């Protein structure tokens, strides 16, 4: 474990001032879009994460006519735990970590639901890389539909523009596990990193900008040999999906999950300059709809009587395909765009977005945040401890 940082508790003193926007602040100019989202001020985060559709082009994910009920449990939870020698509760954690929402489901019922930073149950919040796990769901649905032949199919079968480059010979499975071997820089603090530059401009007319960028990258390792986290590869997976199913990602998500499972509100999905949804980033949805994604996975990829995902897909997608040996962090490895924890798997996005699913305990936890740093290991450890406290409290309900 890395040593604890003083910053976690230092920001408690100033969090109250940032907890809600005044009417004047809410009416302030919207923050800039594009790569600037990685450097928004705390005030810009609180406005921008709730209003992405007003800042950058998005496509709507339509809900259906019914809503998947999330009834309130008769016994709510109010966990207390210790973190870095300090007593913690939900209020203190949310203030310290600038949490805009946390919800906990036990057996499909709400045992805790709280909001901060001026957010309400009706407000959407951007997902950042939680969208990667949603893209994984859609890839599974496309395999069930027969649009994608198999996980062993070459990526170039679906994105022929990649032929002859570093993605030659890379399979769909290697894309989903981020083991393509293609060189990539995911440093969010570096404005010249691949993650900040890929897909932001049309480089070749008629070719998706992410495909244009990614096909120019060199190979660093043999396919399947090494895990390197690459947002660009989840964007590629989105292009692959669209080419395979012949529909936009938003429409396919509406068809396969939003409408049949019963999401309560339309979502919006950020597009690249060519008008294609980002497979690796930025779906905005309500907190309860984040939780419904986790519940859908817990339900085995079923929406009512319809099996949306292949039998066994959830288990396979959330298995430890890429172990992280001797990792000091909460994540023990990687599946198909899902992070694997002890007893759980998670969809994770920078600045503190996360969906935890605990299959054995029948618990789902969704958390949205506006952390001051995009990807600080200390913040992730604090959030993992928070989730464990929530899980333990929810699990006790089954013994009441």
Residue 169 CB-density burial (10 A; 0-12 exposed, 13-18 middle, 19+ buried): middle
> In the prediction, which pLDDT does 248 show?
97
Q: What is the pLDDT of residue 49?
A: 97
- Three-state DSSP class for residue 60: strand
Q: Are 284 and 124 in contact (CB under 8 A)?
A: yes
The confidence score (pLDDT) of residue 12 equals 36
Q: Which residue has the higher pLDDT, 181 or 205?
A: 181
pLDDT over 50 at 319, yes or no: yes
Give me the residue label for tokens 């198909």: 336
Q: What is the pLDDT of residue 27?
A: 56
> Quick one: which of 149, 136, 147, 208 has its CA closest to 178?
136
Backbone angles phi, psi at 280, to 5 degrees: -105, 0
Which H/E stretch holds residue 92?
A: helix 90-96
Place of tokens 């949310």: 94
- The tokens of 54 are what? 């007003």
Tell me: pLDDT of 9 over 70.
Answer: no
Ordered structural domains, the chain, with CATH: 7-139+246-397 (3.40.710.10), 148-242 (1.20.58.710)
- Phi/psi class of residue 301: alpha, beta or left (left: φ > 0; alpha: ψ in -120 to 50)? left
pLDDT of residue 328: 66
CB 297 within 8 A of CB 362: no
**100 backbone dihedrals φ, ψ, rounded to 5°:** -90, -15
Q: Reduced to 3 states, what is the DSSP secondary structure of residue 207?
A: coil
Max intra-chain CA distance, the chain: 63
The residue whose two tokens read 């800042």 is 55
Q: What pLDDT digit, counting tens, does each position of 189-244 carry?
A: 888 888 888 877 778 888 898 999 999 999 999 999 999 999 899 999 999 999 99
The answer to whether 331 and 265 are in contact (CB under 8 A) is no
Residue 117 CB contacts under 8 Å (≥ 6 apart), including other chains: 18, 19, 20, 46, 98, 99, 100, 370
Beta carbons within 10 angstroms of residue 75's beta carbon: 12
Rounded CA gap, 400 and 398, in Å? Answer: 6
Read off the pLDDT of each residue in 29-51 and give the average, rounded to a whole number: 90
Tokens of 71: 């009834």
Q: Is 300 helix (H, G, I), strand (E, B) or coil?
A: coil
Cβ–Cβ under 8 Å, residues 96 and 20: no
Q: What residues are paired with 303 via a beta bridge?
A: 306
Distance CA 19, CA 21 (A): 7
Beta strands 302-303 and 339-341, pairing class? unpaired
The predicted-structure confidence for 381-396, as pLDDT tens digits, reads as follows: 999 999 999 999 999 9
Other beta carbons less than 10 A from residue 258's beta carbon? 27
Give 102's DSSP letter. Answer: E
Q: pLDDT band for position 28 (50/70/90)?
A: low
Residue 121 tokens read as 């149950």
Two tokens, residue 90: 């939900």
Specify the 3-state DSSP secondary structure of 348.
Answer: strand
How confident is the prediction for the chain on average, in pLDDT? 90
**Range in 8-17, 113-122, 127-136, 275-284 the model is least confident about:** 8-17
pLDDT band (50, 70, 90) for residue 259: very high
DSSP state of 256: I
Contact, 260 vs 306, CB < 8 A?
Answer: yes
Using 50, 70 and 90 to split pLDDT, how confident is the model at 169?
very high
pLDDT digits 0-9 by tens, 92-139: 999 999 999 999 999 999 999 999 999 999 999 999 999 999 999 999
Closest CA to 174 of 210, 133, 224: 224
- Which pLDDT value is given to residue 206? 84
């Amino acid at each position: 474990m890395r040593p604890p940082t003083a910053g976690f508790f230092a920001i408690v003193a100033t969090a109250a001032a940032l907890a809600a926007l005044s009417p004047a602040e809410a009416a302030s100019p919207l923050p800039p879009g594009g790569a600037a989202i990685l450097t928004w001020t705390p005030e810009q985060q609180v406005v921008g994460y709730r209003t992405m559709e007003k800042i950058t082009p998005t496509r709507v994910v339509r809900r259906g006519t019914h809503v998947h009920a999330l009834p309130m449990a008769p016994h709510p939870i109010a966990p207390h735990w210790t973190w870095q020698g300090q007593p913690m509760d939900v209020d203190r954690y949310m203030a310290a970590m600038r949490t805009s929402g946390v919800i906990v489901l036990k057996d499909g019922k709400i045992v805790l639901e709280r909001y901060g930073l001026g957010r309400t149950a009706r407000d959407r919040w951007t997902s950042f890389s939680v969208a990667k796990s949603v893209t994984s769901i859609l890839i599974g649905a496309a395999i069930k539909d027969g649009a994608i032949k198999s996980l062993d199919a070459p990526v170039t079968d679906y994105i022929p523009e990649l032929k002859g480059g570093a993605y030659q010979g890379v399979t769909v499975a290697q894309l989903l596990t981020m083991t393509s071997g293609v060189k990539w820089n995911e440093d969010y603090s570096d404005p010249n990193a691949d993650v900040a530059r890929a897909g932001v401009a049309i480089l070749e007319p008629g070719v998706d900008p992410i495909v244009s960028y990614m096909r120019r990258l060199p190979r660093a390792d043999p396919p399947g040999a090494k895990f390197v986290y690459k947002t660009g590869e989840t964007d590629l997976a989105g292009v692959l999906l669209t080419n395979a199913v012949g529909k936009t990602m938003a429409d396919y998500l509406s068809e396969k999950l939003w409408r049949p499972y019963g999401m309560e509100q339309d979502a919006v999905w950020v597009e690249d300059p060519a008008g294609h949804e980002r497979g690796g980033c930025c779906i905005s949805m309500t907190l309860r709809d984040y939780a419904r994604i986790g519940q859908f996975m817990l339900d085995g990829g079923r929406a009512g009587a319809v099996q949306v995902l292949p039998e066994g897909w959830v288990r396979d997608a959330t298995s430890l395909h890429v172990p992280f040996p001797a990792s000091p962090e909460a994540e023990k490895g990687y599946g198909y765009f899902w992070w694997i924890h002890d007893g759980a798997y998670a969809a994770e996005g920078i600045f503190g977005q996360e969906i935890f699913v605990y299959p054995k305990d029948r618990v789902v936890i969704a958390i949205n945040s506006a952390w001051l740093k995009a990807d600080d290991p200390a913040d992730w450890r604090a959030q993992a401890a928070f989730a464990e406290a929530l899980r333990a409290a929810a699990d006790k309900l089954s013994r009441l």
